[in-house]
Amino acid sequence: MTHLSPQPFIRIRAARVFSLADLRELWNYRDVLLMLAVRDIKLRYKQTVLGVFWVVLQPLLAGLIFAVIFGRFIKLSSDGCPYLLFVFSALIGWQLFAGILQRAGGSLVNEARLISKVYFPRILVPMASAVAVLIDLAVSALIMVVLLMLYGMWPGWSLLWLPVAVGLALALAMGVSIWLAALNVRYRDFMHAMPFLIQVWMYASPVVYSNTVVPARWRPLFDLNPMVGVIDAFRHAWLGLGSMDLFAVASSATWAVVSLLGGWIYFRRVEQDLADRL
Amino acid sequence: MSDLAIRVSGLGKCYRLCHEARANRYQTLRDDIVRLPRRVWAKLRGAKYEEFWALHNVSFELELGEVVGVIGRNGAGKSTLLRILSRITPPTVGEVELFGRVGSLLEVGTGFHPELTGRENIFLSGAILGMRRPEIRRRFDEIVAFAEVEKFLDTPCKHYSSGMYMRLGFAVAAHLDAEILLVDEVLAVGDAEFQRKCLNKMGTVAKSGRTVLFVSHNLAAIEALCSHALLLNQGIIAAHGATLGVISAYRAMRPDGPIGEADVRSHPNRVPGSKPFFTHVRVFSDAPNSESISMGRGVTVEMTFAASEPFDNLQVGVTFNDLYGRRLVNFSPTHQAPQALRDAPRSGTMRCRIPWVNLLAGRYLLTVIASDDQGAIDRIDDCLDFEILPRDVFGTGRIPGPQHGVIYLESEWSVRSFDATRGTES
């Protein structure tokens, strides 16, 4: 016979508050995160023959199109570096961010059936979607390495910035995604606004252009966009161009912390009656 | 032995009913912005939502190792109670304390994905139900053996027969090492063989010292498995105690009431574009004092209606569908008695009696449709579900099950020897 302590194992009440117990619970449910992520990854490669090719093709095609239009036709400045490398190094970061937003943003609505049938910390659903996008990142990074070799370039010590860049992008993407996931449950029409939002955001970030084209007096305002620091860090890490704009990075980090904390608190509130809303 | 497993105190769950006729079920940002002035106005006037308490002041304690059945009519709050205990939805008031690991089994095959193989689904579903991976690995062979799917472990589950799918789903959940198990009406699906297997497994679980809360309409199963029972009626505990006493309290409760009842005034399954016509749908058994319909007995469907617009030559249909969405039969005066509804009033009650229901035992859904010469008026798909219980209709002690089809009919059999046949031919 199992011995049970007098302390309840689980206490269910009308209102729960933010506590460290939540984090411990999250850790206890880590297998759910893993299995959901594994499922997402497997499904992507099972359902389409093109699956694997698509992951390679998509960033490469996007990079090539940008290189032809912005690099060759419009001749945007690429800070003296081949434009394809210039745009692709940034595109890796952007696609990580946008991919998580797209997948995690609608994840709760997509898992409505599961959520109404069994309990687990709901935040694992958007988190698992984000993990699946990391596979794309790995593939893109490989392509980048191949491109660098083709151009006969090799990143220096600046490559040490890469983990920082990835970490920042992940934190920001998660912060924004948990807001989006929760908002998508509450407002179903939000889903239609998301592609537009992501598109606008990309052109507000220095993906296809260099941030040196932004006039100095607009820079502080420009740097308020958290993706400026992230994209900058990605480009600097791969190509070692110029020096890091630490103000932009600090802005990104601040945004990441603010959106993660705020998102977590908002998510906790919505999580309560998620099953009744879906 | 007085170790506590579950303590529920003053539990209540309140839903807000929204009477605004809304075409879509979902809230949209656009709507919220458009409605903002009206909402502020409503707040200022102190307008209130109508509240509906699905559970009200429910308190009980279960000891470790108790196996308790929860019974009650449709809408009595059984599912709400289970959903709160499983932490799927929070209570509005009150508190629940669970002393031990909880496993909830609210459907067969939780988290299964049809594209994944049996092996992959065991790990996925197991993790979602609360098993750690080493635990799943340890019990993997047992699960596979119970489900009898050894040969198909690496086949995507979409190629499984429905029986295999359900066996595997149940097998994963049944091997959950939880101290407290919450089980919904999962046994109502599947063929007789599957149900027998599940009940056997449930019996073993019940005897292993775990605490089980078992929601079911199947009184025979409750009687066989549970030492105690809990009767819910309109969100309140009507009886709690030894199983037999509670079951008889349930039988004595509202003897002439409907078996199933649905308020369809704002039903989510109303087909878009309908002009609300039906207000309530009820199903009655012909047998007095009965809480269920048995095979071969009669049933009456009662529909209350209030037309929003005048109609011309009203036609009404009632269809029975199975859980796979197949339409099994349609009852309508159109063919049998075209004049029956000629003088129908704008509002009232109509009844459709089916004296002999020859459906096999199982769970069925009911759809109601109204139309007139101008076209469709109202239609609510699957607005009510009801169960038909097995009965020895042929008097042989052998009852056809779901593997034999959907309906049963009398048939006459004869046989002659081959020689005799040839003899008459030559």
What is the nearest CA distance from A70 to chain B, expressed in angstroms?
A: 37
- Position B414 in a domain: no
CA distance A29 to B129: 10
- Using the Cβ of A120 and the Cβ atoms of chain B, whether some distance falls under 8 Å is answered with yes
The answer to whether residues B45 and B149 belong to one domain is yes
For chain A, the average pLDDT equals 86
Q: Helix and strand tally (H, E) in chain B?
A: 10, 18
Residue at B241 is within a domain: yes
How far is residue A276's CA from residue B89's CA, in Å, rounded to a whole number?
Answer: 7
| Tokens matching residue B195 | 């149900």
pLDDT of B264 strictly over 70: yes
Residues of the domain holding B187: 4-251
B14 within domain boundaries: yes
The whole-number pLDDT of residue A51 equals 66
List of chain B residues whose C-beta atoms are within 8 Å of the C-beta of residue A121: none
- State whether A46 and B115 contact (CB < 8 Å): yes
**Which of the residues A12, A22, A32, A43 would you substitute to probe the B interface, choosing the one with the greatest number of B C-beta atoms within 10 Å?**
A12
Is residue A179 scored above 70 in pLDDT?
yes
Among A145-149, A268-272, B78-82, name the one with the lowest average pLDDT.
Answer: A268-272
- B420 in a structural domain: no
Nearest-neighbour CA in chain A from B405: distance (Å):
29
Q: Is it the case that residue B20 has pLDDT exceeding 50?
A: no
**Pairwise CA distance, residues B250 & A137, whole Å:** 60
Based on the fold, state whether residues B240 and B302 are members of the same structural domain: no
% of chain B at pLDDT higher than 70: 88
Search chain A and give the residue with CA nearest B208. Answer: A1
Q: Model pTM greater than 0.80?
A: no
Q: Structurally, how many domains does chain B consist of?
A: 2
Q: In this structure, are B267 and B290 located in the same domain?
A: yes
- B271: domain CATH number is 2.70.50.60
At a CB cut-off of 8 Å and minimum separation 6, what does A209 contact? Answer: A70, A76, A77
Residue of A nearest to B65 (CA): A1
Among A42, A186, A272, the residue with its CB nearest the CB of B120 is A42
Using CB atoms, pick whichever of A12, A46, A119 lies closest to residue B96. Answer: A12
Same domain? For B227 and B275 the reply is no
Q: Based on the fold, state whether residues B372 and B285 are members of the same structural domain.
A: yes
Q: How many CB pairs under 8 A join A and B?
A: 123
Examine the domain organization and report whether B159 and B207 are in the same domain: yes
A12 touches chain B (CB under 8 A): yes
Please tell me which residue of chain A has the smallest CA distance to B135: A31
Is B293 part of any domain?
yes
Residue of A nearest to B1 (CA): A1
Q: Give the type of residue at A213.
A: V
Same domain, B74 and B102: yes
Q: Is residue B103 part of a domain?
A: yes
Does residue B220 share a domain with residue B348?
no
Of A5, A14, A32, the CB nearest to B128: A32
Cβ pair B89:A273 closer than 8 A: yes
CATH of the domain at B140: 3.40.50.300
pLDDT in the model for residue B177: 80
Chain A residue nearest residue B95, CA to CA: A13
- Of the candidates B35, B37, B33, the one whose C-alpha atom is nearest the C-alpha of residue B22 is B35
Angle, helices A226-239/A246-272, rounded to nearest 10 degrees: 130
Residues B188 and B280 in one domain: no
pLDDT tens digit string along A190-229?
888 889 999 999 999 999 998 888 898 998 899 899 999 9
* Residue among B213, B211, B147, B142 nearest B175 (CA): B142
- Closest to B54 (Cα-Cα) out of B199, B235, B209: B235
Is B64 a domain residue? yes
Confidence of residue A165 (pLDDT cuts 50, 70, 90): very high
Tell me, yes or no, whether B215 and B335 share the same domain: no
Query: Which of B88, B123, B172 to mutate: most A Cβ within 10 Å?
Result: B88
- What integer pLDDT is reported at residue B24 of this predicted model? 43
Number of residues that this document lists for chain A? 278
- Rounded to a whole number of angstroms, the distance from the CA of A183 to the nearest CA of chain B is 9
B290 and B246 assigned to the same domain: no
**Strands, sheet with B293-294, edge to edge from the N-terminal-most edge strand:** B293-294, B375-389, B362-372, B315-322, B327-331
Same domain, B347 and B203: no
Judge: B102–A114 Cβ closer than 8 Å, yes or no.
Answer: no
